[in-house]
Amino acid sequence: MKLTLRVWRQTGPQARGDFVTYQVDGANEEMSFVELLDLLNERLIAQSSEPIAFESDCREGICGACGLMINGQAHGPQRGTATCQLHLRRFQDGDEIVVEPFRSAGFPLVKDLVVDRSALDRIVQSGGYITAPTGSAPDANLIPVPKDDADRAMDAAACIGCGACVAACPNGAGQLFTAAKLAHLNLLPQGQPERARRTVAMVDTMEEYFGSCTNHQECEAACPKEIGIDFIAMLNRDYRKARRRR
């Protein structure tokens, strides 16, 4: 395959950025999108040019490090797929592909395709945990959990913290991420004692960094784990209840 990549290059947060065009031949349809960037970087290094900065780690859709805007879509054109799982078979030989970082006021640019997503960590730090001493691992069936609640908690726990929901949202809202991180604790018995405190702390922290949800639903469409916006409805209900209680 021969592809033309228009890649956002920016040497640092204060520098002026621009698109740079690269022709990449020798790619094949079994390659993932991050392997395409590896191939391009190997060639740039061989020419003594600066390689493109981008993030990846697990390369199997687990860690959330690899988010990119590909032709204007967070994680590219395939639903339910992280950038590292997107294969070149989704593209045609000769295609031109535009590659940009996740753009949002809450994600300041670091370099090229790398953005600082630590605002997501700060939301989790503010309450996304259980403080009760748990001791050693209990038997799995010691605390009965209704099947529907267990399934929904597992769906929410699938969030990999990639930030695609924020990048896809016209408001730069962090609701889907925050809702997922709240729901996987708030749905389970172990999460009940701190439910109200956790909800208020995480939503208030979210509002320091991100915009507000106005139901565009772009977050749900972009999420590589297909987390639904019904979790945002749960976040709103929990937040209203917790505020009233306070």
Task: Return residues touching ligand FES (CB under 6 A).
Answer: 56-59, 61-66, 82-84, 160
Q: Select from 8-16, 41-49, 158-166, 233-241 the region that touches ligand SF4 (CB under 6 A).
A: 158-166
Q: How far is CA 9 from the centre of its chain?
A: 21
* Cα 169 to Cα 64, 101, 203, distances in angstroms: 17, 14, 17
Q: How many CB atoms lie under 10 A from the CB of residue 158?
A: 15
Check: CB of residue 114 under 8 Å from CB of residue 13: no
Nearer to ligand FES, 106 or 163 (CB): 163
Within 8 A by CB and 6+ apart from 170, the residues are 216, 218
Closest CA to 5 of 78, 65, 91, 74: 91
Binder among 37, 40, 165, 200 for ligand SF4 (CB under 6 A): 165
End-to-end alpha-carbon separation of the chain, Å? Answer: 60
Kindly state the smallest distance separating residue 178's Cβ from ligand SF4, in Å. 9
CB of 207 vs ligand FES, minimal distance in Å: 27
Tell me whether residue 41 or residue 236 sits nearer to ligand FES (CB atom): 41
Of 176, 183, 213, 232, the residue at the interface with ligand SF4 (CB under 6 A) is: 176
Tell me the residue type at 223: C
CA distance 86 to 23: 19
Instruction: Report the SS3 class of residue 9.
Output: strand
51 binds, among ligand FES, ligand SF4, none (CB under 5 to 8 A by kind): none
When CB distances are held under 5 to 8 angstroms depending on the partner's kind, the choice from ligand FES, ligand SF4, none that residue 163 binds is ligand SF4
How far apart, in whole angstroms, are the C-alpha atoms of residue 81 and residue 60?
Answer: 10
Among 91, 107, 177, 239, binds ligand SF4 (CB under 6 A): 177
Smaller CB separation from ligand SF4, 40 or 222: 222
Closest CB to ligand FES among 66 and 123?
66
From candidates 115, 153, 227, 232, binder to ligand SF4 by CB under 6 A: 227
**Should residue 159 be labelled a site residue for ligand SF4 when binding is judged by CB under 6 A?**
yes
Instruction: Select 117 or 195, whichever has its Cβ closest to ligand SF4.
Output: 117
Which pairs from 88-93 meet CB under 8 Å and 24+ separation? 88/1, 88/3, 88/27, 88/28, 88/29, 88/30, 88/31, 88/32, 88/33, 88/36, 89/29, 89/30, 91/1, 91/3, 93/1, 93/2, 93/3
107 interacts with ligand SF4 by CB under 6 A:
no
| Least gap, CB of 168 to ligand SF4 (angstroms) | 8
What's the min distance (Å) between Cβ of 116 and ligand SF4?
A: 15
**Interacting residues with ligand SF4 (CB under 6 A):** 159-165, 176-177, 180, 222-225, 227
